[in-house]
Structure 1
């Protein structure tokens, strides 16, 4: 036997290997390899360990250090407990053992598999390609089982993500239900309140940063409820605020399977299409009400973005005024006619940016247009012009149309799930019968039944969710009443507010001031059905 000069010991343990007990532990591998090298008169040049890494991933830090030392001529021999410790990607394992290591004059030994590149004629070397294929098959099969278990957990409403959204932490129940983390939840509620008042994501982020409130990365809640110790910038960004404002987690909806690995070989995370997300409503206590969340989404969809002034305030009609001729938004300007009484006006952005050659000013005083809009809202919502019965009827028709579509889809899916469950029961029964008759080996029967049972659990959970959704009481009438109450609330307002404008107005077109005595064209487009209303 050749001497084991400058031997590198490689040890690896994945999360799944931990279930195999002490025989696969890092300590056991170390003892076996050290004993072998010392008994054969070798010298240990280095030890390379990857604890908790998959064998399909060759970007492991330990294996990379081992390969670098081998290529730099620091090792003569590499010893592992078995081939699967080195890797479970049969193409890459074969490349290293058959081509790369021999090119550098490195001997490779896998003890349990009797593989030794110094003896190319051994039975272990003959069987090595088959063992490498089997090792990769094992990784692929394990990946399928893990995905099936994850899918069953998602359908059952069990929280499986590695971290909880800002404002929540882990509860102590079996499902790891998200529990409100009150200090962070207060910040989340404030973000939604500020957005309702018309503040932009940038303004909200700046306000939170100025007050020294740590952002979610700095205040992260892990599954065990402990705060993250990783270093991160404490500053808020507009992107972080925007993600919070559109996250359905805050209304009690649990959405999982948003990302997935490309394959068991490629561990890069990729976004999953929205129709493949696993969504479970009423999974935990919401931080904000559904009413507030829907209002914020409506504001986010609005044509108005709004700009803040030097006092960090957003004016009621900012971003809602549109030039009737060129279609550009009107820009708010302050002109100091006198030091005590500056005059604020809105002017066409094309005119202010490019000049009168491309569009006229369409200038209108801020107080004038705000007074006009407030008067029109009071008139519209405070008298019989606002037909509540008509608005309620339109609202219910809209909800019925979309509700019917959703119900039909759910009914179709429910029938498909029931048919599949019946089929799975037949398949399980058939497998047992074939096993009893001796037509099906016991191990094959066991694998088939495990596969069918896993699918059955996931299907039953999905069916229960659909049936719960179909059984829920129709609340469209109550939603319509809340919608009308919101409209009535604004009819008694004394001042025009940003919230009022965003809730009621889609946009306002401003015509140019006529040179004669003709009335000026100003059209207010409301978000409910009674408009557009013309105000002259």
Structure 2
């Protein structure tokens, strides 16, 4: 770790007139929230930070000089996660040792997710020896009093998290009203349509060229053609897949353009779209963001928002229903062939990749056995990969054998494995308990502040309206904290249960000399990645040891 820290320091700290120079990144972000645009524009944020840098560098008593390495920004990107191109480019430059300082207007511009933002500010950036400055919050991670500001920083991050959830709830409510009024609220139109504003609301309008392809897909599938046959013919006819159509804005491949075959999931997505028979069907999914989780829930049909005859249909309802009968039958067949294997039959699914194209290996059942294979072997475009396949049973034997050998080479004993497992889980539990303590401390501080306000109200120094507003604010915050603590405590119980199960499994793996069947949890805990190459080589990268190759 020390060598890593020195490498960053060496690459980034230069001397100007005896003063160390911080090679800094200016980071600015503007989300999709229109209310932010007036005062929070990218230009405004950058200007404010530059003014701060100029004022800092003009100070004769400064301890260091700030030099701007580059400006990084994300326009129209939410702060609730860190999946942003500008942010990722900045972190790549941090990892490359090009910068050792980050300046933002305030904490909310950096991120609104309490857990992830705290992880960056308290762990990742300090480890990389990166100074973090939040201009409007008067926060400098290298300042002498930075440690004393930690609670204040976490409270602000909690507020930003709560604010993001509040904005999300308001936007969702507004979107529901628009949907019930028959307005299309999607970010992009379904393939076959475009979006236009008609009588003050956004409507789906048929796009003739792509609509023909939609009609063709339904007709061919309803007449008995398989999805792969449809994919093959679309490729032979030079029809762009949907993502390329959105890029080129025309259906058929032209000179100088790349032609990619359609994916199975894309064809199924077209066949499942209710909007094609003229009804506007919305709210089929709902974000889990309000619960502090990723991804979406698939809603029951009774919860959909449907506006009948909202736009011109591309196909008839009869043709749509005919296609659904085939899709449902295919889904039932697929369910029977894949049922249960998530836990028992494909333990290495989340860590297994093709060694040639680096794509995730797919799985299928054949004669009662599960096989891993590279789906790109069936591609017809430039992404085509070599054929390769291996069974789950063969993988189990190889990995068990290599695990036993690695354990022996490492000299790991049962108590060592238990200690490793316990340390990993204990670290996660400690992080959560730290957050719970911070929530309790903040709640106690707010209650004390409210008690003081009550005394001022009784003595006539504070109006009744101001006191009630403070009380409501404290109560709302208390409700948020209690819900958050309940969720965190549930996570701790889950982790403690997993810790016991994994420790027991690790001990049994050693006791049985590598004959224990490996489950998905253990595979992900012990193996970072596995690669199968076209020449039959299998590369296993264990989390506790280097790579192992097996012919």
TM-score, normalised by the number of residues in structure 2: 0.48
The answer to which structure has the higher helix fraction is: 2
Asked which structure has the greater RCO (Cα within 8 Å, sep 6+), the reply is 1
Answer with 1 or 2: which has the greater Rg: 1
Normalising by structure 1, what TM-score? Answer: 0.49
